[in-house]
Structure 1
Amino acid sequence: MESPTDMSFPHVLVTSCRELLTLAPRVPFGHERSREPRRPGRVALVGGLLLALSLGLWVLWTHLGRRDMWHMLDLSVYHDAAHAFRDGDAIYTENYGKWNDNKLPFIYPPLSGLLFYILLPLGFAGLKWFMAIVNLLSLFAVVWSAWGMLGYRRGLGRFGVSATTFAVVLWLEPVEWTLVWGQINLLLLALIVLDLGLPDSRRYKGIGVGIAAGLKLTPAIFIVYLLITRRFRAAAVAGGAFLGTILVGLAAAPTASVYYWSHLASISGKVNDKLSVGTLNNQSVQGMFTRMLGDGGAASALWFLLCLLVGALGLVAAARASLRGHELVGVVITGGLSLIVSPISWSHHWVWVVPAFVLLAHTALTRARPLWWWLTGTFFVFFAAWPMRLNVYGDWDGSRTLQPWGLIWLAPRDEGRERHWTPIEFVLGNGYLFAGIALTLILVWRILRDRTPLPTLAEPVAEPSTPDPDPDPDPVSSGSVRH
């Protein structure tokens, strides 16, 4: 007979899996609490001023260093490849753009090619402005929706909190390099977070996840997330939207689409021909093991085993957090898993630090303990983009221009230098990955060790009509959740 006080990890894990299969009703997330900061008008004014100041500084830096801050190399690859979108399979067999006197492959699904094909009339100069504006709007949309998941109702207060957060997260290194490269990471992040931030009653919930997966395959993990959190209609909508993107690609460019889906593995592998998976920029598990062991079966086997372990634990914890009403926690865990388990997660893919920062800042605000402010500040310092002049050895080089480098770039990189790291350089050079795994495991532990049972079918959880005077603590800061 099981002991009700058994807190061993295997017992907690088994109990958590059992709870996920009981078809218990979901606890509504966020919207029932109606949080709002004190003096919302003043918060909105201060937040608006900080947003304008931060954005103005970014525009100034980008203008002064436009050769390095406005080249948008990856966007040039998308733009050039779009010209070949209707020309058979050329979009996937040729290389485009210009990087260190080389060209790069286009490896995204056909829907992405169609998107940039439609935008060709803008020209490359117009496309730069368009992508910069879309990314900045996407960044604000992400922080707005993340605070909404935490229960902040629409209004001046939420605008002020979101604007203040925008002013801060604009200077995170993954955000900065997404803007510099002209990447679509923030657009994908916004599609996912805005979609999952909708009430579960919305019939079209899941469309954003499906479209994001159609633009780049890694967001498909959120279809699994919707399934294990028993939002079957949203999962079906997401799957249908993803299938729709495939059909749209087939209709618009049948030859290119057939080639892409039949040569998916080889197309993805083309990146390694131009830039080694083991380079510092790849902050994934496979990147770490490749830096340690080189390309080969050992690195792939270790990658598979570690991803299987972390992925399984992470998804169980994400589902349990979501079922308990902590949707942002579940979303952050799942987003982190998409980076950890993916074969390639360049540093600019780590824009998932934006909702993670919102979660930490919320915990610091609600817990009002110095420890959480220190953790939030440390998180920002580590992931921030610092204006530095660095060479490939991670040393200050006065002949270089100021660029938004993160602290991980203080380790030597490229041309196999990662194989000769010192222990300190190894920790620093894998910093994003280690920080992501640490945050994921902390959340997993706090969620799975909570023995409060999920509500049962006989005890449905109704959404209260009045604000909860004592809202549930988030599992990031408490191992016990009350319902």
Structure 2
Amino acid sequence: MLPALNPADRGALSATAVSGTPRHISFLRWHKVVFVLMMAASLIYAFYNDRGLRYRVDMEVYRVGAQRVLDGQELYSGAFQITPDVVLPFTYPPISALLFVPLTFGSHTVASVCITLANVAVLFALTRLIITRFAAVDSSTGSWLALATTAALVPIGPIWSTVVYGQINIFLIALIIVDTMVLPRRWRGVLTGAAVAIKLTPAVFGLWFLLQRDWASILRMGAGTLGLTGIAWVILPQDSRTYWLDTLSATGRIGNMDFPANQSFNGALWRAGLRDDTSGSTLWLLLALITIAVVAALMVRLFHAHAPFEALAANSFIALLASPVSWTHHWVWIPLLVIAVTLRVTHPATRDSFSSRMRVIWKVCAAAGFCCFLLEPKAFTPIPEFGGEWNLFWHVVGNSYLWWTVVCIAVLWVLYRPLAQGSHAAEETPVTPVPHQGVNPKK
């Protein structure tokens, strides 16, 4: 049986927080100036390139899809002319198009500014939440540290591609984190279900509830998904019918499987010539099943180690590794996981739970991940679609997201073993009351 994570009916992140009075760090004025300048530089870099304001391609797909809904046009017929050289289809469920309607209220530039600022603001809020809980600092300290950390995260591959493309991944993980880590148990599951209705992939997070036998939250998750999907079906019956009965199975609309930005096992198999339209599916399915089993076992270990947030982030590995397509902007969970584990491993109140060798191993793993996701080696690889061929070097370097995640799973398994074993021992060892100065322990 997994340990109870929420005995006081509060958000599960309370089970993760470092105990004790929150610390306050007094930053000097020049520290704060540096943090603000870091954020300003990151925002400028996110907004502009050498040609001017960056064009957010994916956001424009959302805008055009929402506009077609407003104009009464079919949402899934053909593709949209996003730029003179780019034609892309709308691949999200119908409810997404309805939620994207506010993007049509202004020009592309206005929408671009709004979604960029919103992405960075939500990232800041998530980072602040993690830092205040895992570093046990007060609100003011957490805010300043989160400002600097967010500025440093913006150029990191998954965050960068999400912000630059105008994607919604940060919003989706915010729904899931707030749902599972912040809201009281009686509401848990609804927001995760809403995320599923918007982009299907978050359905894998049902495993987080399942492993805890949290049946009520699973039902609420289903209600959240069906509720939003039902609203879309009432408003857009024809588009809903087309999507669920036809478009959903047309995986070719998502993009080329062998494109280097697809860092899942499936993408690696395609680039290695072990998978195509007619063969290789058995090998991919086998890898997917192994991934699910290994990640589920890791999550159980993390639950026993009283690390529910790490278990939640690890849950994302299933979607990232086992999905047919995992574009680089899907990997936004990774930076948050690295921050959380690094804080747990280095904080004075918790670091002694880990051996000095394992602390070093994790720091090396985190540093390698930072380099991997910042430098994005896959950006320099040959593109198979245009005749580029991959040798052994490119299969190692070009699949860097994939290989780092596999290594991370192994490191987390060993890193959290002492905490998980300690939890087992505490559960299995009976505690005998010790009489003290005539006090009756049975009383």
TM-score by length of 2: 0.83
Q: Deviations over 1:387-429 (max 9, x none)?
A: xxxxxxxxxxxxxxxxxxx2222221242545x2121111011
CA distance in 1, matches of 2:317, 2:32: 30
Residue type of the alignment partner of 1:252:
I
Pair 1:288-2:258 in alignment: no
Pair 1:242-2:225 in alignment: yes
User: Residues 270 and 444 from structure 1, CA distance in 2 versus in 1: closer, same or farther, beyond 3 angstroms?
Assistant: same
Return the match for 2:15 from 29, 42, 67: 29
Match for residue 382 of structure 1?
A: 372
CA distance in 1, matches of 2:367, 2:429: 44
User: Residues 454 and 237 from structure 1, CA distance in 2 versus in 1: closer, same or farther, beyond 3 angstroms?
Assistant: farther
Pair 1:310-2:310 in alignment: no
Match for residue 115 of structure 1?
A: 99
Q: Quote how far apart the aligned CAs of 1:332 are.
A: 1.7
User: Residues 133 and 64 from structure 1, CA distance in 2 versus in 1: closer, same or farther, beyond 3 angstroms?
Assistant: closer
Pair 1:75-2:59 in alignment: yes
CA distance in 2, matches of 1:84, 1:58: 33
Q: Quote how far apart the aligned CAs of 1:383 are.
A: 0.8
Q: Quote how far apart the aligned CAs of 1:144 are.
A: 2.1
Match for residue 227 of structure 1?
A: 210
Work out whether residues 111 and 245 of structure 1, in 8 Å CA contact, stay in contact via their aligned partners in 2: yes
Return the match for 2:186 from 203, 217, 242: 203
Return the match for 1:42 from 27, 35, 50: 27
Q: Gapped runs of 5+ residues in structure 1?
A: 1-18, 386-405, 461-483
Structure 1 stretch displaced more, 218-227 or 279-288 = 218-227
Return the match for 2:38 from 38, 44, 54: 54
Match for residue 331 of structure 2?
A: 350
CA distance in 2, matches of 1:383, 1:221: 23
Work out whether residues 38 and 148 of structure 2, in 8 Å CA contact, stay in contact via their aligned partners in 1: no
Pair 1:361-2:342 in alignment: yes
CA distance in 2, matches of 1:410, 1:68: 24
Secondary structure in 2 matching 1:93: coil
Identity of aligned residues (%): 24
Q: Quote how far apart the aligned CAs of 1:382 are.
A: 1.7
Structure 1 stretch displaced more, 376-385 or 338-347 = 376-385
CA distance in 2, matches of 1:214, 1:346: 20
Match for residue 263 of structure 1?
A: 246
Return the match for 1:432 from 388, 401, 405: 401
User: Residues 323 and 375 from structure 1, CA distance in 2 versus in 1: closer, same or farther, beyond 3 angstroms?
Assistant: closer
User: Residues 139 and 48 from structure 1, CA distance in 2 versus in 1: closer, same or farther, beyond 3 angstroms?
Assistant: farther
Q: Quote how far apart the aligned CAs of 1:75 are.
A: 0.9
CA distance in 2, matches of 1:34, 1:235: 33
Residue type of the alignment partner of 1:408:
K
Secondary structure in 1 matching 2:80: strand
Q: Quote how far apart the aligned CAs of 1:35 are.
A: 6.4
Q: For the aligned residues, what is the CA RMSD?
A: 2.9
Counterpart mapping for 1:121-160 below 5 A: 121-148=105-132, 150=134, 152=136, 154-160=138-144
Q: Deviations over 1:421-443 (max 9, x none)?
A: 12111101111011112212332
Residue type of the alignment partner of 1:411:
T
Secondary structure in 2 matching 1:281: coil
Higher relative CO (CA 8 A, sep ≥ 6), structure 1 or 2? 1
CA distance in 2, matches of 1:372, 1:271: 35
Q: Deviations over 1:289-320 (max 9, x none)?
A: 11112413443211110110121121232133
**Number of residue equivalences:** 412
CA distance in 2, matches of 1:232, 1:84: 39
Structure 1 stretch displaced more, 187-196 or 155-164 = 155-164
